[in-house]
Amino acid sequence: MMPEKTIRIGSGAGYSGDRIEPAVDLIKEGDLDYIIFECLAERTIALAQLQKMQNPELGYDPFLEERMKACLPHCVSNKVKLISNMGAANPIAAAKKTAEVGRELGLADLKIAAVFGDDVISMLDFSANKFLESGDSLSVLGDEIISANAYLGVEGILMALEDGADIILTGRVADPSLFLAPLVHEFGWSMEDYPLLGKGTALGHLMECAGQVCGGYFADGVKKQVPNLGNLGFPIAEIGSDGSFHITKLKDSGGMVNAATCKEQLLYEVHDPSAYLTPNVVADFSNIHFKEIENDKVEVYGASGKALTGKLKVSVGYHDGYMADAQISYGGSYALERGNLAIEIIKERLQTKNLLVEDILFDLIGVNSLFKEDVSDINPQEIRLRVAAKTKDREEALELVNEVETLYTNGPAAGGGVSKSITEIIAIQSILIDKDQVKPKVEYFKS
Amino acid sequence: MKLKDIAHSRTGDKGDTINISVIAFDEKDYPIIKKQVTTAKVRRFLGETVKGEVVRYELPKLGAMNFVMQKALRGGVTRSLRLDKHGKTLSSMLLEMPLNTND
């Protein structure tokens, strides 16, 4: 029996730089109630924080304006609400910019909410907070810390929906919570009904990478054929008030939705499938199964959930030295031998000069740059040596890349095409803090 | 026979940890995968790439397994010196694992 009320949600982006046309198609033709744009990768928010430090009006998603220009008119004419984490490090500036775009497009009276409160850098306890992976306390990084953003749950988005916002821009929010929030709002789900919250979280997790559940990142060209990838459609989920749902896509879009595409997406970036930790529920995906009910329409069964942990994950971004990358090519006979000789020379130079590197990698591209241990009996006509190293200071990085360049006149025969780059590393590690410590806040702007 | 003949796969990453799903094309092949694609074998097959612990989760209702591997990205996406900083290519690498056809 179909539940009394159903909601249709579209996924408009799997990452910041994703295609915009499929989202516009969804808003125009998907008969949607909501469109969600998940645009914030683990490391992106630290970079956005750096940008905000340089200019307080920036620090939001670089494609915000372009996306809003393309989507807002259709959102208004089709009454589709838009929720996105494109606020990144600066949801307020993002909401102001969106209001400006709305006014330019002649769309009056849009209520735009900025959800924030995820920035917890002032709340860090440098001696008590410990990184989950390394076990180090934050104090070892001292002044190097740039940002600390907690993964918020649905609470801030819910407040904005209850206040009638048309567009909601958040900073760091757990990806599936972007999808769960409108369900809780529309269906009045209890925040203690964990099996229901688990179902909504499963929906969010399947949808959050947009095109991936529709066959993007799936095709292998042989056993896994996907039709019309050049016009890949983004997914639509229709969910009932009882948490039952299916995933589908627009009929005339490319790609496909079937049990196999859903299975790959379900396990993507999941650790223990029976305990997928989110700020609102510990979702249980271990009994999920899929049924193809029509072409490109998959019903999802068996998702559930358990009580939450009371902790929030916080991504801490910090300066972590420099990455040097220098490359040189060798062609023709004995290319591999000359590449290997070049590696020996670089190693000797590092020792002689007592050049300190924290980590170094020698890739012979075309031979062993991806699967090092599987190399045997390769006789290439061209190889590219890549020397990549991590250093504490920029000076060491510079010395390293110059050592590769001096192979031109000091190294093996016929080396060519040197390239050099040095980039600053912004590292990310996670800590946990008590959920009670973090209070989401909402501010509104009008177009 | 190789794993790629009966299964597909995708890598996901979080910090310095990756997960690689192994999903039977046909759920009837799940018992073969469960028997042969063990944690020890995966660890050996990926060699030096993965430095930390490898844990296997079973999903019989999907005919799938999920391998979670720590210290697999040389420090994580923003710090890894590797060309494939996310470890995304490792899923197709794992599918090259040979299987015993008698099972």
Domain residue ranges of chain B, discontinuous segments joined by +: 3-79
Identify the CATH class of B3-79.
alpha beta
Average pLDDT of chain A to the nearest whole number: 95
The answer to whether the CB atoms of A288 and B62 lie below 8 A apart is yes
pLDDT at A1: 56
Which residues belong to CATH 3.30.70.600 in chain A? 321-427
Q: Are A234 and A11 in contact (CB under 8 A)?
A: yes
Chain B residue with minimum CA distance to A301: B61
The DSSP bridge partners found for residue B57 are: B66
Cα angle for residues B95, A269, A360 (degrees, 5° grid): 75
Spell A296-317 as b/e; 16+ CB within 10 A means b. bbbbbebbbbeebeebbbbbbb
Chain B residue with minimum CA distance to A260: B25
Average pLDDT of chain B to the nearest whole number: 95
Chain B residue with minimum CA distance to A46: B78
Name the token pair of B66.
Answer: 């999920």
The answer to whether the CB atoms of A271 and B74 lie below 8 A apart is no
Across the interface, of A269, A287, A363, the residue whose CB is closest to B19 is: A269
The C-alpha atoms of residue A172 and residue A104 are separated, in whole angstroms, by: 28
Q: Residue A414: left (phi > 0), alpha (psi -120 to 50), or beta? A: left
Smallest CA-to-CA distance from A319 within A417, A428, A236 is with: A428
The answer to whether the CB atoms of B48 and A373 lie below 8 A apart is yes
The C-alpha atoms of residue A126 and residue A91 are separated, in whole angstroms, by: 26
Distance from CA of B27 to the nearest CA of A (A): 11
pLDDT in tens, A115-159: 999 999 999 988 888 998 888 899 888 889 999 999 999 999 999
The answer to whether the CB atoms of B79 and A425 lie below 8 A apart is yes
Residue identified by tokens 């599987």 is A374
Distance from CA of B12 to the nearest CA of A (A): 4
The answer to whether the CB atoms of B8 and A425 lie below 8 A apart is no
What pTM value is reported for the model?
A: 0.95
- Which among A50, A133, A314, A365 is the top mutation candidate for probing chain B, defined by the most B β-carbons within 10 Å of its own β-carbon? A133
Asked if A275 has any chain B CB less than 8 Å from its own CB, the reply is no
The C-alpha atoms of residue A279 and residue A281 are separated, in whole angstroms, by: 6
The answer to whether the CB atoms of B78 and A425 lie below 8 A apart is yes
First and final C-alpha spacing in chain B: 11
Distance from CA of A23 to the nearest CA of B (A): 24
Q: Indicate the SS3 state at residue B59.
A: strand
pLDDT at A2: 59
Does ipTM exceed 0.85?
yes
**A 294-333 near B (Cβ less than 8 A):** 302, 320, 323
CATH topology of domain A321-427: Alpha-Beta Plaits (3.30.70)
DSSP secondary structure string for all residues of B11-43: EEEETTEEEEEEEESSGGGHHHHHHHS-HHHHH
Cα angle for residues A193, A198, A199 (degrees, 5° grid): 105
HEC per residue, chain A: CCCCCEEEEEEEECCCCCCCHHHHHHHHHCCCCEEEECCCCCCHHHHHHHHHHHCCCCCCCCCHHHHHHHHHHHHHHCCCEEEECCCCCCHHHHHHHHHHHHHHCCCCCCEEEEEECCECHHHCCCCCCECCCCCCEHHHCHHHEEEEEECECCHHHHHHHHCCCCEEEECCECHHHHHHHHHHHHHCCCCCCHHHHHHHHHHHHHHCCHHHHHCCCCCCCCCCCCCCHHHECCEEEEEECCCCEEEEECCCCECCCCHHHHHHHHHCCCCCCCCEECCCCEEECCCCEEEEEECCEEEEECCEEECCCCEEEEEEEEEEEEEEEEEEEEECCCHHHHHHHHHHHHHHHHHHHCCCCCEEEEEEECCCCCCHHHCCCCCCCEEEEEEEEEECCHHHHHHHHHHHHCHHHHCCCCEEEEEEEEEEEEEEEEEEEEHHHCCCEEEEEEC
The continuous run of DSSP H or E covering B90 comes out as helix B90-94
Own/partner contacts of A186-189, CB < 8 Å, gap of 24 or more, are A186/A5, A186/A7, A186/A33, A186/A241, A187/A5, A187/A7, A187/A241
The continuous run of DSSP H or E covering B94 comes out as helix B90-94
Cα A101 from chain centre:
25
Residues of B in contact with A386 (CB under 8 A): 83
pLDDT at A279: 96
The C-alpha atoms of residue A178 and residue A205 are separated, in whole angstroms, by: 10
**B 49-78 near A (Cβ less than 8 A):** 49, 57, 59, 61-62, 64, 66, 68, 74-78
Smallest CA-to-CA distance from A429 within B27, B15, B94 is with: B15
Chain A residue with minimum CA distance to B12: A269
Q: Indicate the SS3 state at residue B95.
A: coil
**What is the pLDDT tens value at each position of chain A, 447 positions in all?**
556 899 999 999 999 999 999 999 999 999 999 999 999 988 888 899 999 999 999 999 999 999 999 999 999 999 999 999 999 999 999 999 999 999 999 999 999 999 999 999 999 988 888 998 888 899 888 889 999 999 999 999 999 999 999 999 999 999 999 999 999 999 999 999 999 999 999 999 999 999 999 999 999 999 999 999 999 999 999 999 999 999 999 999 999 999 999 999 999 999 999 999 999 999 999 999 999 999 999 999 999 999 987 999 999 999 999 999 999 999 999 999 999 999 999 999 999 999 999 999 999 999 888 877 666 778 899 999 999 999 999 999 999 999 999 999 999 999 999 999 999 999 999 999 999 999 999 999 999
